Amino acid sequence: QKKKPQTYKERASTCTNPLVQQLYKIMNLKKSNLALSVDLQNSQQILQTVDKLGPHLCIVKTHVDIIEDFSPQFTTSLRDLAAKHNFLIFEDRKFGDIGKTVKSQYEGGIYKISSWADIVNAHPVPGDGVIKGLKEAATGTNKGCLLVAEMSSAGSLAKSDYTKGAIKMAEDHKDFVIGFICQSRLIDDYNFVHMTPGVKLSEGGDSLGQQYKTPEEAILKRGADVIIVGSGILATDDPVQAAIQYKEAGYKAYEESLKN
């Protein structure tokens, strides 16, 4: 039987993982389930955008490897903005290799992702060594990983038994896996945060396989906790207004979901 939906405040007090608790506290305080996918290539542009939109976001999601002028100062400044506006940083790196390789990719190289990202994600395709490798690099810190259990893109192979395998893997590694990138509700357990990309106020797609659903569809029909929005906000004339619109649409859908 389906559990009664909980408010963000209730979830913050019942969830066991401190990072998940922190996220629900932010969502409650800022009345926002909106993650901005800040897919820009210039670090100043990213920082300026995040500073303006920060008050409306619970998470800022990056693709650090598309930045053309990356420097360690960028991540320091991004962390300062996370403290200023109270959001979590999610690097959408989608690790997908054997444990020892992802461990080095997570903590090493130019980006040193483990030093600044609160959340990363991984493909379950290599087996749970991918989680074990990342976990080793994150030992003793308040970090978490999402498993890419389903994707928003057309023809995705992440479905049926693959998705079920991702759920099992998450349950086996509850101390580090804090949820899923997904397109539907996978577990009736708020310890696993369901984050859904491919969200836009108008449905449709792009020329490269992306498929969009509305915030209402993502939250009410598919059971998302967090909506991830990129171009729906950034490719507009007024990204601040657009972020407010998505924040309000997402929060309204959440309030509606509590009535179920």
Residues 98, 130 contacting (CB under 8 angstroms): yes
Nearer to ligand 5FU, 133 or 232 (CB): 232
Nearer to ligand 5FU, 10 or 97 (CB): 97
Contact track, ligand 5FU, 131-170, x by CB under 6 A: -----------------x--xxx-----------------
Q: How far is the CB of 175 from ligand 5FU (least distance, A)?
A: 23
Q: Which two tokens stand for residue 208?
A: 């490269």
The residue from 229, 242, 243, 249 that contacts ligand 5FU (CB under 6 A) is: 229
User: Would residue 172 show up in a list of annotated catalytic residues for this protein?
Assistant: no
Residues 42, 67 contacting (CB under 8 angstroms): yes
Q: How far is the CB of 54 from ligand 5FU (least distance, A)?
A: 18
Count of C-beta atoms within a 10 Å radius of residue 207? 5
- Phi then psi for residue 177, to 5 deg, are -85, 120
User: Would residue 65 show up in a list of annotated catalytic residues for this protein?
Assistant: no
Residue 123: strand, helix, or coil: coil
61 marked as binding residue: yes
Question: Which residue has its beta carbon closest to ligand 5FU?
Answer: 230
Alpha carbons 201 and 229: distance in angstroms, whole number: 10
152 marked as binding residue: yes
DSSP 8-state code for residue 220:
I
User: Would residue 97 show up in a list of annotated catalytic residues for this protein?
Assistant: yes
Does 62 bind ligand 5FU (CB under 6 A)? Our answer is: no
Select from 20, 32, 42 the least CA-distant residue to 227: 32
Nearer to ligand 5FU, 23 or 227 (CB): 227
Of the candidate spans 45-53, 100-108, 226-234, 251-259, the one that interacts with ligand 5FU by CB under 6 A turns out to be: 226-234
Active-site position among 25, 31, 51, 94: 94
The residue from 53, 181, 186, 219 that contacts ligand 5FU (CB under 6 A) is: 181
Q: By CB under 6 A, what part of segment 187-216 binds ligand 5FU? A: 197-198, 210
List alpha helices for the chain, DSSP H.
8-14, 18-30, 43-53, 72-85, 99-107, 129-138, 160-172, 215-216, 231-234, 239-258
Indicate the pairing of strand 34-37 with strand 226-229: parallel
Residue found under tokens 């490719």:
235
Would you tell me which residues interact with ligand 5FU (CB under 6 A)?
37, 39, 63, 92, 148, 151-153, 181, 197-198, 210, 228-232
Active site residues: 92, 94, 97
